Amino acid sequence: MAYVMSKRFIRRSIGSASLLASALLLSFGANWANAQTAQTYTSPTDGFQVDFPGTVKVTPQNTNDPVVARANYYVNEGTTAVYAIMAMLYKSPESLSSESLSPFNNYKCTTTTRKTLQFAQGQALQLSGINCMGANLSAVTNYYIAGDWFYQVTAVFPPTDADGAAAQQFLASFKVANAVAPVVTWKTYTSAADGFQVDFSGAVKVTPTHHKNLPTSPVRETVYAENGGNFTYGVAAVLYSTPVANFGPAIKEAFAANKCKPTSQSSVQVSSGQAAQYSGTDCLGGRQSALVRYFTVADWYYQVSAYFPPDDADAANAAHFVDSFKITAH
């Protein structure tokens, strides 16, 4: 009865992060006009917005990295300063590692400081240095991890008051824009055999599980799952030979298997049977949130699970999935 959906969110080190440092070093020497008035630049493709002080050049990067889906380099080059962003989409969630920060060493600053930044969508850290690149230049890079996204936001500039203020304005303006997240298209999925319907946003894998005919075993169990890379939605439909007993303790044990920090627990009103909902953060050994709703009616048990990054857009999509579940038989 203590069923829990499996997850494979493997954290990989970020081996392609040196792309930004290499591209930024090449930017100096460009004879562009002085920085213009900062204007808000939005990238719906890469999910961020920032105030660039002039023209922005966008260059797709060929990473040749099997764990990177794509990478784009955004740069504004002035005669004395460069402002740049590397936006990288990974095929599974990432975490900041020493390897992801190592490209800052390419600036060859004589002194480097490090501090953690507040960032609601994930992890963020800042490295800054002086006397960089063999010249009287300062460099600051903010690193952000948000689900499968990795961003490096860099300013390299002369250490004058005006240039320092412009660099800080650029760095402080960067936002991961949940509002420009891809639009989710929901499609109602119906299982006549297991008596339910639910909205999935992508391909559904159906996995039957066969049990020996023991008194305590289910007659049958089927898992319906959508793996979206940084999220998983699933329904486990289990038919027992007798009505489910000890529903409350059983689902408490099932949710505990997620190893979450619990955030809420509540009963759910249903026309027949019983239902309850649990939620938590930092689940399954990673930075995933979980929203799980449990149902039992007659001899049936359903577990409706969403595992997702702790972002507003992802949480809203997870809630839609769980709320859409309906028992259509029994």
Section 145-167 average pLDDT: 88
Every domain of the chain and the residues it spans: 18-180, 187-327
- Cα–Cα distance, 316 to 244 (Å, whole number): 31
H helix or E strand, kind and range, residue 313: helix 312-324
The fold of the 18-180 domain, in CATH, is Protein Transport Mog1p; Chain A (3.40.1000)
Q: Check residues 42 and 245 and name the one with the higher pLDDT.
A: 42
Predicted local distance difference test score (pLDDT) of residue 5:
28
Fold entry, domain 187-327: Protein Transport Mog1p; Chain A (3.40.1000)
pLDDT in tens, 270-286: 989 999 999 999 888 77
Q: Of 292 and 61, which is predicted with more confidence?
A: 292
C-alpha to C-alpha distances, 21 to 24, 25, 88, 202, nearest whole angstrom: 5, 6, 14, 36
Residue type, 247: F
59-75 mean pLDDT: 85
pLDDT at 216: 52
d(CA 129, CA 159): 11
Contacts of 323 (CB under 8 A, 6+ apart): none
Q: How far apart are CA 13 and CA 100, in angstroms?
A: 7
With a cut of 80, say whether residue 100 has pLDDT above it. no
Residue closest to 178 by CA, chosen among 200, 154, 203, 147? 147
Q: What is the pLDDT of residue 191?
A: 97
Question: Three-class SS of residue 274?
Answer: strand
Rounded Cα–Cα distance for residues 265 and 269 (Å):
13
Does residue 9 surpass a pLDDT of 70? no
Indicate if the pLDDT at residue 32 is higher than 80: no
Confidence band (pLDDT; 50, 70, 90) for 183?
A: low
What is the percent of the chain with per-residue pLDDT over 70, rounded to a whole number? 83
Burial class (CB in 10 A: 0-12, 13-18, 19+), 272: exposed
Share of the chain above pLDDT 90, in %: 48
Please tell me the distance from the alpha carbon of residue 288 to that of residue 231, in angstroms, as a whole number: 8
Per-residue confidence band for 212, with pLDDT thresholds at 50, 70 and 90? low
18-180 and 187-327: identical CATH topology: yes
Looking at residue 271, the DSSP 8-state letter turns out to be S
The predicted structure's pLDDT at residue 68: 84
Backbone angles phi, psi at 58, to 5 degrees: -115, 125
Report the residue count for the chain. Answer: 330
Which burial class, exposed, middle or buried, applies to 187 when counting CB atoms under 10 A from its CB (0-12, 13-18, 19+)? exposed
- Which two structure tokens, joined as six digits, stand for 84? 């740049």
CB burial of residue 183 (10 Å; 0-12, 13-18, 19+):
exposed
